[in-house]
Amino acid sequence: MGIIGAGPAGLALANSLEQLGISTVVLEKYSRAHVESRARAGLIEHRTVAFLDSLGLSGRLRAEGVPHASCEFRYRGESFSIPYGELAGGYEHYVYPQQFLVRDLADAYLERGGRLYFSHPVTGVDVDSAVISAQSAADGAELVVECDFVAGCDGFHGVSRQAVPAERLGAFSKRYEFGWLAVLAQAPPSTKEIVYALHEDGFAGHMLRTPTVSRYYLQCPVGDSADNWSDARIWEALERRLAVPGWELSTGPVIEKAVLDMRSYVAERMDHRKLFLVGDSAHIITPAGGKGMNLAIADAQELAAGLRAHYADGESGRLAGYSATCLSRVWQAQEFSHWMLQLLHAPEPGSGEREFMHRLQLSRLSQLRSVPSYAAMFANSYVGVV
Ligand code: APR
């Protein structure tokens, strides 16, 4: 199996296949240091943890990650928590930074003798012969890998999706009418639970990463620049939007800030001849709800199961159903992420519907707060049970 990309999808797939006795080669565009320092997601669903458990790959995650089963909503100076773990039948999330998981998966793969070529951008994929061409970033030497199948785990900007004809790929996408300023700061968490705040200035979120580093999100206009957000402006906006009586925000140096393009994209087919698209190469989702990395790893798990059935049992039905199985989960997650955004985002100022929408949001929040079956629906989707 030729695997393009050493992100969560590529490395989960590579480890899983090696354990099944299916040999793999992984080609990654960037250096190991670069790949292991990219701070991105951090919320790991119980299903992802269970998969990593089954591969014996969850040791550090379980030792250093922190289980979470409750989150908080804030609006108009009020707050309430939803014990989503309990409501969803006892499941919980782990908070563990994506780059740590990538490091753990790379370590495990290399320790078992996996062939992982960092700094080898793939330049071409032949979907009929399953031949991959890559080039060493160090000396330009060409590397050609002949495989049975290719897994395109190269993210949204990779090359593998380009090998699928547009009419087969289909593609559904949505661009949201706001951006998110994503901030990573050297600041201890000011909360024990993830906080989602609805405010007339726009959404604010306080996410958790480690005891010394926290992630925050602030709704901002589309096309805004991170340069417009000084540290002082970031902390002032977070303080205002997240405010509830008696609560204090811990601050610290901002390490990273970027305006995210808030969009979603789903390919209609995730396979073409001998190529399978896995994770972000086939679908991207907004960060709302923390689903992106979990979907990527779930794709890898499904593909590994399909390949196992193909090689061990000579049965190709599961592999043939790979795309449909993954897309059903992907659309469920898209719907949830969209629901979260509708719940929490202030419509653009000047929009005639602003007040109407705001009142719908307040009604949703009040139902979440006081109607157990409504909260249970949220909990199941958030945790990823349904
Ligand atoms: N050749 C080889 N590798 C490539 C190429 C290429 N031409 N293009 C991209 N890559 C590599 C990237 O450098 C990256 O390491 O593919 C990897 C893709 O990893 P991710 O973008 O992390 O995608 P995926 O594994 O699907 O995980 C999705 O990561 O970005 C988050 O929000 C996203 O949480 C989601 C998760």
Grade residue 355 by pLDDT with cuts at 50, 70 and 90: confident
- Residue corresponding to tokens 């698209």: 277
**Ligand 1 in contact with 121 (CB < 6 A)?**
yes
Q: What is the pLDDT of residues 184-240, one digit of tens each?
A: 999 999 999 999 999 989 999 999 888 999 999 999 999 999 999 999 999 999 999
Rounded to a whole number of angstroms, the distance between the first and last alpha carbons of the chain is 31
What's the token pair of residue 240?
A: 């205002």
Provide the pLDDT for residue 30: 98
Nearest residue CA, atom 34 of ligand 1?
Answer: 293
Among residues 53, 69, 65, 62, the alpha carbon closest in space to that of 97 is found at 65
Helix axes 292-312, 46-54, angle to 10 degrees: 40
pTM above 0.75, yes or no: yes
- 382 classed as catalytic: yes
Are the beta carbons of 226 and 259 closer than 8 angstroms? yes
Are the beta carbons of 128 and 155 closer than 8 angstroms? no
- Lowest-pLDDT choice from 66-80, 146-160, 342-356: 342-356
Residue 45 to residue 91: CA distance in whole angstroms = 9
Provide the pLDDT for residue 352: 76
Which residue out of 25, 27, 28, 116 has the highest number of ligand 1 atoms within 8 Å of its CB and is therefore the one to mutate? 28
**Ligand 1 in contact with 4 (CB < 6 A)?**
yes
**Ligand 1 in contact with 1 (CB < 6 A)?**
no
- Average pLDDT (361-383) is 95
**Ligand 1 in contact with 65 (CB < 6 A)?**
no
Instruction: Name residue 198's beta-bridge partners.
Output: 75
Given a cut of 80, is residue 52 above it in pLDDT?
A: yes
